[in-house]
Structure 1
């Protein structure tokens, strides 16, 4: 019996005892842990088509697709009718609400745009594309904190393909309207010098940004810190962001990808 027990113990040692424990990348005092293995499958992509009931009627999808085609050709009124019909068929689907908000924004009706962005955010409180940033900007315009039309001017950064023009627009907005946090996020992403990037990031964080903008600022800050050799601080920043209650779904995915990149480029000790 003692021999059998010895052999079993020895076998267990070789089968289990020699295995290396999962390498911990981040751990906090709340019991949250991220291991290197946890990061292997992350792609940074978010499926915004998912709904709470996980079912979207094909008819609603068809109406939404038709509405987007109409909107892209400038037929806004026809697009709105299609989107409203899609919403009736799929009231828990945020996508047509989001596109309805954007269509009203293009029509110059910021009040209705804000209303539908807020409805989108209510359906998807952890974030849906740029809805939170749109609400931040349009509420600021409504309250007089920002001038009317600033959000549309800001969107030109995304719409232009010329990097020099993007930088010029971002600089102009941050200089003229320094309290507009999203522009600092864009500026930080367009700058090449890490010292200047960090300055833009920290300035943006001081401007009470929306959750989506704040998350991207913190992710970019972590990447700059990593470039400067402060890997532990970068890991800490990303880990805290991932487990923060207000972090959006998209920012969690991007933060995990950033953490994955840092780990893959860290030499084994």
Structure 2
């Protein structure tokens, strides 16, 4: 078996942490306008060729490649700098201006949602995740998961503030501490599928597969469901059932509800396990 990838998790594109140049996402985007970038846990870029012979957990981000104006990019870049320094009001102002300059660009809307989330303004966070979803209906970073979770929080199906707490896992550098928090999150919020996705990455073999199945049982958002299925395919393939793994990945690719991220990752994994 040439493919050695044992875990793939979505990297969060956040105001405080994403270092990549802003690129566009809009309603006219097609599969040919999508790029995928991989990084390790230290933020180092990894080529697809290098990834084939690597093991561990890798992050990926999906970008569109259609251009937006230099002014919109500049406003967005400045906003992210303000956000990183904790100046949220200036960040919001610049993001709003960037949105006016490029109304079909999902990035400013997505970062507006996150900036409001950081301030515990869940109403505005939900509003801007909804707008992000409208502009990028096939997904933008973790917009689908964010929207689904905040809607469930508003409906009191999940504890208020859960999504923000979940995102805070990305800020924990100590891996042991992070693993403990993931374990605690699964125990406290067993109906929260993204927690099972992360928890499954800490396990191996049948235990990992069982955790993935637990996540799939929680009626996950399409973004999380796609990643759970892709990781399920990886586990099944490692167990020697390449045919079943390929079927799962093919279903993700052709599911009309799959996000661009799901589709591109499923294509990449399918190509690797088919070699």
TM-score bracket for this pair, using the shorter chain length: 0.7 to 0.9
Look up the match of 1:202: 213
SS at match of 1:48: strand
**Matching of residue 246 in structure 1 with residue 261 in structure 2:** no
SS at match of 1:127: coil
Look up the match of 1:95: 107
**Matching of residue 123 in structure 1 with residue 135 in structure 2:** yes
Look up the match of 1:21: none
Matches within 5 A, 1:57-68: 57-68=69-80
What TM-score does the superposition give when structure 2 sets the normalisation length? 0.77
Selected match of 1:237 from 245, 248, 258:
248
Q: Pick the structure with greater CA Rg.
A: 1
What stretches of structure 2 of length at least 5 have no aligned partner? 1-33, 38-60
Selected match of 1:180 from 157, 179, 192:
192
Q: State how far apart, in whole Å, the 1-side matches of 2:231 and 2:219 are.
A: 17
Instruction: Tell me by how many angstroms 1:261 deviates.
Output: 1.7
Is the Cα contact below 8 Å between 2:62 and 2:141 reproduced in 1? no
Look up the match of 1:28: none
- How many residue pairs align between the two structures? 219
SS at match of 1:91: coil
Is the Cα contact below 8 Å between 1:205 and 1:217 reproduced in 2? yes
SS at match of 2:157: coil
Give the direction of change, closer, same or farther, for the CA distance of 1:56–1:69 in structure 2 (3 Å limit): same
Please, what is the CA RMSD of the aligned residues? 1.5
Q: 1:17-67, CA deviations, whole angstroms, 9 ceiling, x for partnerless residues?
A: xxxxxxxxxxxxxxxxxxxxxxxxx974465354xxx34111111000000
Selected match of 1:215 from 223, 226, 231:
226
What TM-score does the superposition give when structure 1 sets the normalisation length? 0.78
Q: 1:215-241, CA deviations, whole angstroms, 9 ceiling, x for partnerless residues?
A: 000000000000111110000000111
**Matching of residue 48 in structure 1 with residue 60 in structure 2:** no
Instruction: Tell me by how many angstroms 1:200 deviates.
Output: 0.6
Give the direction of change, closer, same or farther, for the CA distance of 1:255–1:141 in structure 2 (3 Å limit): same
Q: State how far apart, in whole Å, the 2-side matches of 1:43 and 1:117 are.
A: 22
